[in-house]
Amino acid sequence: MKINSETKISELIRENPRAIEAIVKVNPRFRKLKNPLLRGILASRTSIEDAARIGKNDINVLFKSLEEIGFEVERGQIVYVQPDESSMNLSISEAIKQSKITSLDVRPTLDRGGDPFNEIMRELLLLEDGYTLEVINSFEPTPLIKIAND
């Protein structure tokens, strides 16, 4: 299977279940993929690029590990555009100064094996202008951040 930075982790696992071990080998933080419930929640929303960013790994290290188990990397497909964090951080800083923060702790939902996605999206829809949603989680939800910023 040909893969690139946008390939979802769920596609890798569906094609070759050994992809889980190949990813965990690069970064033990991804052991969560061994849990079928968390894998279902995370893998379908996470691309290889997202995984590299979440794990603070070079994407090429992930690609190399996946190549070792038979995946073919489409080179030249790696495009990462750094979001304009200064304007994003300014909005967040302003919300903090004005105490305009709504907090949502999704750890209990995850601990029960649930998917907090709909809960988070509901809170985002209810969020008043100028407010920031603080999601309390046990890991950085990069795919969710991308969805929320769209």
Sequence-ordered list of residues with C-beta below 8 angstroms from that of 104, at least 6 positions apart, any chain: 119, 120, 123, 133, 134, 135, 136
Closest listed residue to residue 19, CA positions, set 63, 69, 58: 69
pLDDT at 86: 47
pLDDT at 85: 47
pLDDT at 91: 63
Residues 125/46/88/76 CA torsion (nearest 10 deg): -140
Q: Which residue ranges in the chain fall short of pLDDT 50?
A: 77-87
Query: Can you give the pTM of this predicted structure?
Result: 0.58
pLDDT at 78: 47
E strand or H helix at 24: helix 19-26
